Amino acid sequence: MTAAHADPPGQAQPDGSGRPASSDHAVKIRTQHLSRVVRGVAIVDDVSVDVFHQEVMAVVGPSGAGKTSFLRLINRLDEPTRGTVYLDGVDYRTIPPRELRRRVGMVMQFPYLFPGTVADNIRFAPRQRGEEIRDEEIDRLLAQVDLPGYRERDVSQLSGGEAQRVSLARTLANSPEVLLLDEPTSALDDKAKASVEALIVRIIREQKLTCLIVTHDNAQALRMANRAMVMEKGRLVAVGPVQEVLGAESVLP
């Protein structure tokens, strides 16, 4: 593909190998022979891939390909049957799970919020590591996700798009280095989807995050990522520049 495209957040254009062209992009996440077998079925099967510092990698493939399972293995919500993950070159089995999940945050497809206020939800993760965040910090996080004044709002009163923004703010309260996004806009209507997607892109840029996003929407992958990895039946079948992997022209501005 020869179509020009703008670089995603903080990322140099890739060379023909799919690696970012800039030599100073260190590997942030490396999966090595990552596998998970459940009841005799390999739902993630020998996946080895590098994700670079400040890169946005789209994880695409048909339903049941193992995309969500792959994401869950990266911050040990599930345990691999074989293989491992390296974070900044360190085997993640040596990192306490709570510390790992602080550094590698995950936003689910359907936001699960605890009963209570928005502030209660945002305070949850820091409290798990013995920290208390002030109201001013909560207000800053809510402003960051375009929900100013929502601190004392009961979560039962939130729309789907608002709940997803609160889920994102709760993850950001941990100051993650890596953001894992599992179909973060698929449960939203078109207006909320566009708004949340733009918000995520802005936050990735501002905070210089490394991001993996599972999406079934190729157009979204083209808008948000510079590389894509394709999974089928648990295996990695292709990885490279997003336009080449998806066989489509970029729609990035």
Contacts of 34 (CB under 8 A, 6+ apart): 44, 46, 47, 48, 70, 73, 80, 82, 83, 84, 85
pLDDT mean over 196-214:
93
pTM equals 0.84
The Cα 240–Cα 100 span in angstroms is: 27
User: Confidence class of residue 3 from pLDDT cuts 50, 70 and 90?
Assistant: very low
Phi, psi (5° rounding) for residue 123?
Answer: -75, -20
The Cα 131–Cα 106 span in angstroms is: 20
Residue 73 scores a pLDDT above 90: yes
Q: Where along the chain do its domains lie?
A: 27-246
- Residue 32: closest CA among 80, 79, 98, 66: 80
CB 43 within 8 A of CB 69: yes
The radius of gyration computed from the CA coordinates of the chain, to the nearest angstrom, equals 18
Superfamily of the domain at 27-246: P-loop containing nucleotide triphosphate hydrolases (3.40.50.300)
The Cα 227–Cα 239 span in angstroms is: 7
pLDDT mean over 121-133:
86
Question: pLDDT of 170-196, one tens digit each?
Answer: 999 999 999 999 998 888 888 888 888
